[in-house]
Amino acid sequence: NLAESFSTNAAVDVGYSDAVTGAREIQLLGLRGTYTQLMVENRPSMGGLGSPFALEYLPGSWLSSIQISKGTSTVQNGYQAIAGQINSELVKPFQDKPLFVNLYGSTFGRGEINVHLNKKINDKWSAGTLLHASKMKNNLDGNDDNFYDTPQTDLLDGMFRLFYRGELFRAQFNVHALRDRHTSGQIADKLPAGTPIYSIRQDHDRVEVFGKMGYLGFKDLNNTMGFITNASWHQLDSYYGNRFHSGVQRNAYANLIYSTYINNTDHKLNMGASYLYDNYDEQLDDYDASRTESVPGIFMEYSFGQKPENHPETEEESNNSFWKGFGLIAGMRVDKHNLFGMLYTPRMNLKYNFSEKSIVRLSAGRGFRTANVIAENVSLLASGRPFVVDGDLDMEDAWNFGLNYTQKFVLGGKEGSLALDAFRTDFNNQIIIDRQHDPNRILAYNLKGKSFSNSFLAVWSQDIIDGLDIKLAYKFNDVKMNSRHGFHEMPLLAMHRGLVTVGYETRDEKWALHTNLQLVGRMSFPDNEQYTPELIEFHSGKSPAYATLGGQLTRKFDKWEVYIGGENLTNYTQAQPIIDADNPFGQDFNATQVYGPITGAMGYVGLRFELGE
């Protein structure tokens, strides 16, 4: 699924947020995934109540490509992105095979099937159905704490797609529905009869309808108009021991974009209007987190040097070497939020090509977001301390500044590249999730003081011989925040990370081997002075550094292929990830201080089959 698609990407890190629920979360620019706007085909998606497992709801076989934009990118998709945007493009029925089947099984008791059914009705109409079913069933407990190491899951996921592609008008209509069941907690068979069982149950049901329309029939062929719309309903029912979290989210979104060129194709103007509606009926025990957001907005974005495809270069452009390498995207949007008032979001991106092989990029911009403070922190409910929202929470508000330099070169007759990134995020306001100040409660409140993230990334990619390539990456994150506990670094965030990937494919493309080695530096634990020393033997000071290895070997045939692989082949696991696991209903119980894998080495095997042209 999408969560497992970043193993060879140096910019995005994916980890588990706790030791029991199985929820995965990304990190970008040293910040939690909540600060990255998740997009599906250029529309905001999977936020709110579905966010803990949103990355699992897009199966890998459904994805045709993933675009990662670091920092505050375009204003066309809203004001939300602070650390960046991740857009997932799905397979299209007019490009996919009429029949595609993917079967998968793992040594952890996970089975999965994906089926694509597509039909080209005629030159203009096409339809497709994407189906997914997966199940995880096991009794894994490698650390003997009587808790499941992996949640038991049952997911049914499907999407219907209908496309019309005419000369002057294009449209698509989609329906996405899923049923997700997660259960975890203590393993009843391992406990004495009559012992109260600490169980976790998370039930998600979701229906989403979305579509796009594009008009290309203006007299001036450079003018286009597009309309994106989305409506969704998401229901959540869950409990964590004796805590109950439930809610219903109703969301609607619309975005109208008009594009034109000014004088010539050097100067492009995108303008439009959007509307966001989010209604939450949400409760955590006796706390009511219900709210309704209604946000109309307008935007305008100017770009220079972003030429249409196949645009021939004029003699004047060829002679003007400076402007030939210069590119600019500058945008501004204004939104009127019914709860937080006017929001002004300026953003700018610059690039300059010193040559075809040497590029520098600069970015600066502002982003806002409303924190879904419970849904985005459900891992903290697996704790003996109550989760308390302290005061009225404001919108999160931050500025992001970025610099990138990319140099391509030839080494030993083979192509290579070096990319250097540096990003700074400064928060005007941030929702602080404080698990250190009060030993009896986990607090959520508005930032008082400063909070920032500095992130540096270096990536060297190199072709070694025909079919063999390697990538080496190093990342440094310096993330600090002000809380009532003082000014301190972000807990459970690695300051240093490394990545080594090796890929090889034979000339006849019948065999392919891909491996990745993740190197994770030490992390600071939260201040655990409220616990007795014997409970925090493995949760004090800093965590150890560790490495995980993954790999996959694929053999391709004419219409089908088989693959075999493994994850965490170094077999590294965090020692005793749960604090006071013997007393899950006590105040000291804490399953949220996770820095590494809970499970050891895992193997898997799969089969892909396709039919038709």
| Secondary structure (DSSP) of 454-503 | EEEEEEEEEEEETTEEEEEEEEEEEEEEEETTEEEEPTT--SEEEEEEEE
Q: Are 299 and 272 in contact (CB under 8 A)?
A: yes
158-200, pLDDT tens digit by residue?
Answer: 999 999 999 899 999 999 999 999 999 999 888 888 889 999 9
- What's the pLDDT at 22? 78
Q: How confident is the model at residue 230 (pLDDT cuts 50, 70, 90)?
A: very high
- Span between the terminal Cα atoms of the chain, in Å: 25
Using CA atoms, how far apart are residues 76 and 138, in angstroms rounded to an integer?
45
Using CA atoms, how far apart are residues 266 and 210, in angstroms rounded to an integer?
33
- What's the pLDDT at 497? 96
Q: Are 522 and 492 in contact (CB under 8 A)?
A: no
Q: Using alpha carbons, list the distances in angstroms from residue 102 to 2, 474, 562.
A: 16, 34, 10
pLDDT at 570 over 80: yes
Using CA atoms, how far apart are residues 23 and 202, in angstroms rounded to an integer?
11
325-351, pLDDT tens digit by residue?
Answer: 889 999 999 999 999 999 999 999 999
Q: Is 82 helix (H, G, I), strand (E, B) or coil?
A: coil
Structure tokens at 453: 């993230």
Using CA atoms, how far apart are residues 529 and 248, in angstroms rounded to an integer?
38
Q: Are 150 and 142 in contact (CB under 8 A)?
A: no
Structure tokens at 243: 């805590």
Using CA atoms, how far apart are residues 465 and 477, in angstroms rounded to an integer?
33
Q: Are 237 and 250 in contact (CB under 8 A)?
A: no
pLDDT at 319 over 80: no
pLDDT at 519 over 90: yes
DSSP for 544-580 reads: PPEEEEEEEEEEE-SSEEEEEEEE-TT----SS-SBT
- What's the pLDDT at 320? 56
pTM: 0.92
Structure tokens at 548: 């995980």
Task: Name beta bridge partners: 337.
Answer: 341
pLDDT at 308 over 80: no
Using CA atoms, how far apart are residues 613 and 605, in angstroms rounded to an integer?
26
Task: Name beta bridge partners: 580.
Answer: none
Using CA atoms, how far apart are residues 468 and 242, in angstroms rounded to an integer?
54
Percent of the chain with pLDDT over 70: 97
Q: Are 182 and 201 in contact (CB under 8 A)?
A: yes
Percent of the chain with pLDDT over 90: 77
Using CA atoms, how far apart are residues 90 and 114, in angstroms rounded to an integer?
14
Q: Is 185 helix (H, G, I), strand (E, B) or coil?
A: strand
Please, what's the b/e burial string for 281-299 (b: 16 or more CB within 10 A of its CB; e: otherwise)?
A: bbebeeeebeeeeebebeb
455-508, pLDDT tens digit by residue?
Answer: 999 999 999 999 999 999 999 999 999 988 888 899 999 999 999 999 999 999
Task: Name beta bridge partners: 454.
Answer: 424, 478
Q: How confident is the model at residue 322 (pLDDT cuts 50, 70, 90)?
A: low
CA-wise closest residue to 257 among 244, 268, 246: 268
pLDDT at 257 over 90: yes
Neighbours of 440 (CB within 10 A): 10
Give counts: helices (H), strands (E), the chain.
2, 33
Structure tokens at 18: 């706790």
Using CA atoms, how far apart are residues 241 and 186, in angstroms rounded to an integer?
10
Task: Name beta bridge partners: 99.
Answer: 117, 611
Handedness of CA 437, 441, 442, 447 (dihedral sign): negative
94-148, pLDDT tens digit by residue?
Answer: 999 999 999 999 999 999 999 999 999 999 999 999 999 999 999 999 989 999 9
240-249, pLDDT tens digit by residue?
Answer: 999 999 999 9
CA-wise closest residue to 400 among 15, 6, 31: 31
pLDDT at 212 over 90: yes
- What's the pLDDT at 46? 84
317 vs 284, higher pLDDT = 284
Structure tokens at 168: 């002057």
356-415, pLDDT tens digit by residue?
Answer: 899 999 999 999 999 999 999 988 899 888 999 998 999 999 999 999 999 999 998 999
Q: How confident is the model at residue 311 (pLDDT cuts 50, 70, 90)?
A: low
Structure tokens at 485: 């506990």
Give the 3-state secondary structure percentages of the chain, helix then strand then coil, rounded to 5. Answer: 5, 60, 35
Residue 389 buriedness (CB in 10 A; 0-12 / 13-18 / 19+): middle
Q: Are 82 and 107 in contact (CB under 8 A)?
A: no
Q: Is 523 helix (H, G, I), strand (E, B) or coil?
A: coil
Using CA atoms, how far apart are residues 403 and 596, in angstroms rounded to an integer?
30
Mean pLDDT of the chain: 92
Residue 391 buriedness (CB in 10 A; 0-12 / 13-18 / 19+): exposed
pLDDT at 41 over 60: yes
Helices (H), 225-373: 315-319, 321-324
In sequence order, which residues have a C-beta less than 8 Å from that of residue 7 and are 6 or more positions away? 14, 516, 518, 550
Q: How confident is the model at residue 25 (pLDDT cuts 50, 70, 90)?
A: confident
Structure tokens at 67: 């675009």
pLDDT at 219 over 60: yes
In sequence order, which residues have a C-beta less than 8 Å from that of residue 135 and are 6 or more positions away? 110, 111, 112, 153, 154, 155
Over range 199-212, report the average pLDDT: 96
Q: How confident is the model at residue 218 (pLDDT cuts 50, 70, 90)?
A: confident
Neighbours of 605 (CB within 10 A): 13
Over range 60-80, report the average pLDDT: 92
CA angle 263/308/125 to nearest 5° reads: 120
